Chain A
Amino acid sequence: MTAAPLANLPIVEIRDLAVPLPDGGDRRNAVDGVSFSVAEGEIVCVVGESGSGKSITAQAIMGLLPKIFVKPKGAILFEGEDLLKATPARMRSLRGSGIGMIFQEPMTALNPVHTVGAQIDEVLRAHLTLPAQERFARVVKAMEEVGLPDPERMYYSFPHQLSGGQRQRVLIAAALILQPRLLIADEPTTALDVTTQKQILQQIRDLQRSRGMGVLFITHDIGVVAEIADRVVVMKSGRMVETGSVERILTAPEADYTRMLIAAVPTLEAARPAGPVHGPLALSVKDIAKTYTIRSAFGGMREIAALKPTSLTLHRGETIGVIGESGSGKSTLARCITKLIEPSSGEATLTGDGAQKPFRRRMQIVFQDPFRSLNPRRTVGQSIIEGPMNFGTTKAEAWEKARELMALVGLDPAALNRYPHQFSGGQRQRISIARALAMEPEILVADEAVSALDVSVQAQVLKLIDDVQKRFNLAILFITHDLRVAAQICDRLLVMHRGELVEQGSVRAVFSAPSHDYTRRLLDSIPGRRAAA
């Protein structure tokens, strides 16, 4: 950036934007009275929880609002031109050339049947008329710029052959190949591993600096805000709560909501004492391992070790956190222990007094996605009583128990007759916990149980898990990719990397003196450390 005064020219200016909701919505406008601008060379973060209207705002700028929304009111000035008055053809010509956009899910945002090169090339074909060789050269150069290795070869790769981080780089290359003045990034790192997230954030910042473009960055993660933002817009329920420089917002927030958002971000401080838990032994896992055999067309075999031999012990009242990134084997470990898949070798033994009880009554699981782990066609009551009834509890008894559990997880027992879609994500996860507890298990396995939730809701669900653990003296195996969450609830941590247990110890020990190189990298990648320091 050479010309400092230019930095103040707004590229996009949103004035009093309102996006009306169709009749019957929970409020009149999905977005209401939103005004902010993004200037050349700055990164503006719009931060808020789900339902805050942050993504709707971004889609309104792109002219890509889902059809259910009526035409927005107000004005969106892109370099002086009101986009809300632009024709569809004009909007199309701006998308990809004047404004680039990247999305949350790099897994699904790319078309699986076309090569990644062709998908970047598509931007050139949509906006310019260039000979094929020149387009190829430009695509390769764009791929190089975003740090994709061996671009001339990778041009012909298909999305499924790339890692999540590489896919996101492909999307960035496509969004930026025509040097747009504005980049809209809608939660671009949320689906990525924390170490990958760090690299992608770095990449976006580098490109933004070198090109002087404006970036509108949408995120729910205050940590990411601290990493990347120049200015921040905080949104809640479709309205702006406050706006200001990143330093001001993080250090001296004015609105209660902003303070709550910041406070809800779990810190890396271990919440539990470092000493061992003295409950009776609940689970003993000995050298459990899982290998998959891949048969090639000619009958050759290749073995892939998803989980190398791993041992652990878990006591009543204790929470063990299993942390690691995608492909680390943490979910495989959980599935082997819960007997959802058959381990190739080794075994998990339940110990303690309930030896005559069936396995599924002793160990229960809470899954990651509360939107999909409850059967949408059964009432939550039916889902909760199904398990106990399978094991011979009478319907009346099971129903009575379900009412108690609903109250226990903080929901109205009368809501048992409702269907899952009538609940929010946090409420559904409470229901999932109630469903697991209905079996009166000794061991609870939580597989990324709070990962899909907003931070404020996440904090509440973590507290609930903590409460039920004390109440029922549960042994908990807590699988997560989020070290900050693990710090809140775990006694001990196991760090998994490429199918191997690389480090274990108390939360305090692992965080303050990580012994394995990978653990150090993991800790170093946590967003927001720059601001916290």
Chain B
Amino acid sequence: MLAFLAKRMLAVIPVMAIVAVVVFLLLRLSPGDPALVIAGDNADPEAVQRIRVALGLDQPLVTQFWVWLRHMLSGDLGTSIFSKLPVTDLILQRAEPTLSLALATMVFAIGVAIPLGTIAGATAGSWLDRSLMAVSVVGFSLPAFVLGYCMIYVFALQLGWAPVQGFTSISKGFLPFLHSIALPALTLGLAYMVLIARITRASVLEMMGEDFIRTARAKGVVERLVVTHHALRNAAIPILTIIGIGVALLISGVVVIETVFNIPGIGRLVVDAILKRDYPVIQGVILLFSAVYVLINLAIDVGYAFLDPRVRY
């Protein structure tokens, strides 16, 4: 087990290295010169050149990469070209809303999806199952920004249950925090929830036909335990896989939802940075998102081994 863990952790290194190279090249090779942007429309060529030197943009690409990589490894993500603040600080400032949104969304989506999907799978063909699946089609085909504005219209403007936009820090109390995060989390989580629910339903349904379900019933196990202890437990691996894959959905959703609900999070930070070609910020955020994605999927890989004793690496 320890050997497997160590091996899996080591495998993260090349993945992250490739991500680093791609992130670096993507921005350097994309059109548009940050020195020009910084210097403004009327700058003379010499001023632009001075800015280039100051940013190290006159160095060969490889040198730039090494310098950048050394900084990354020492935890220095660089300095924003515009705000002159360290990127690490910028991200940390914005981390709370995004982290809150992501966590609330996952708790909501997983917490609702697994029970619903399990019930639907165990009672396949019932009215409950059919209505769940019908709702899920709608939930999955509705884009988050459309859904977001609909939610704002119904729950914030018409019913007045939630604020229209903005974010209240948890330091100002849990309930106001929850109040501000509920609508965005619901909006962001719907597609994720539907995805997990459908996979849960399909996997549980498949497991309900297995021989060991019949054995459990023959032992006199109550149906509730037959479903949870036997069917759901065996369905855990595909469910976990989809939760991991869905994190990508979540990350891209965060960017949209933070804009719709005007939440000052990392998603907004990166959108603003892209518009201004603020390279260090873009790189920092992409690296962070990639690391989160890779680490969550690492955790899920390790989770397989705990969930299924046949999985040994």
Contacts and interface: CB of A to CB of B under 8 A. Distances in A.
Interface string B166-187: 0000000000000000000000
A160 B309 contact: yes
Given A103-B211, A109-B214, A95 B219 contact: yes
A158 interface: yes
Given A103-B211, A297-B4, A123 B310 contact: no
Contacts of A64: 214, 217-218
B219 A126 contact: yes
A96 B221 CA distance: 8
B222 interface: yes
Given A103-B211, A103-B214, A297-B4, A113 B219 contact: no
A94 interface: yes
A127 B218 contact: no
Contact of A108 (B210, B217, B218, B221): B210
Given A109-B212, A112-B309, A126 B234 contact: no
Given A158-B309, A158-B310, A111 B212 contact: yes
Nearest to A171: B215
- Interface SS, B side: helix
Contact of B234 (A100, A111, A123): A111
B219 A96 contact: yes
A110 B219 CA distance: 12
A500 interface: no
A122 interface: yes
Contacts of B71: none
B207 to A, nearest CB: 10
A105 B211 contact: yes
Contacts of B295: none
A161 to B, nearest CB: 8
B308 A113 contact: yes
Interface string A516-527: 000000000000
Contacts of A101: 218
B212 A175 contact: no
A94 B220 contact: yes
A175 B215 CA distance: 9
Contacts of B220: 92-97, 123, 126-127
Nearest to A160: B310
Given A126-B221, A297-B4, A113 B309 contact: yes
A346 B274 CA distance: 63
A229 interface: no
Contact of A122 (B219, B223, B233, B313): B219
Nearest to B233: A113
15 contacts: A64-B217, A64-B218, A96-B218, A96-B220, A103-B211, A103-B218, A108-B211, A112-B308, A112-B309, A112-B310, A113-B234, A126-B219, A160-B310, A297-B3, A298-B3
Given A108-B212, A112-B308, 18 more contacts: A92-B221, A92-B222, A95-B217, A96-B219, A103-B218, A109-B211, A109-B215, A110-B215, A111-B233, A113-B234, A113-B236, A113-B308, A114-B229, A126-B219, A126-B222, A158-B310, A297-B7, A298-B3
Interface of A: 62, 64, 92-97, 100-101, 103, 105, 108-114, 122-123, 126-127, 158, 160, 171, 174-175, 297-298
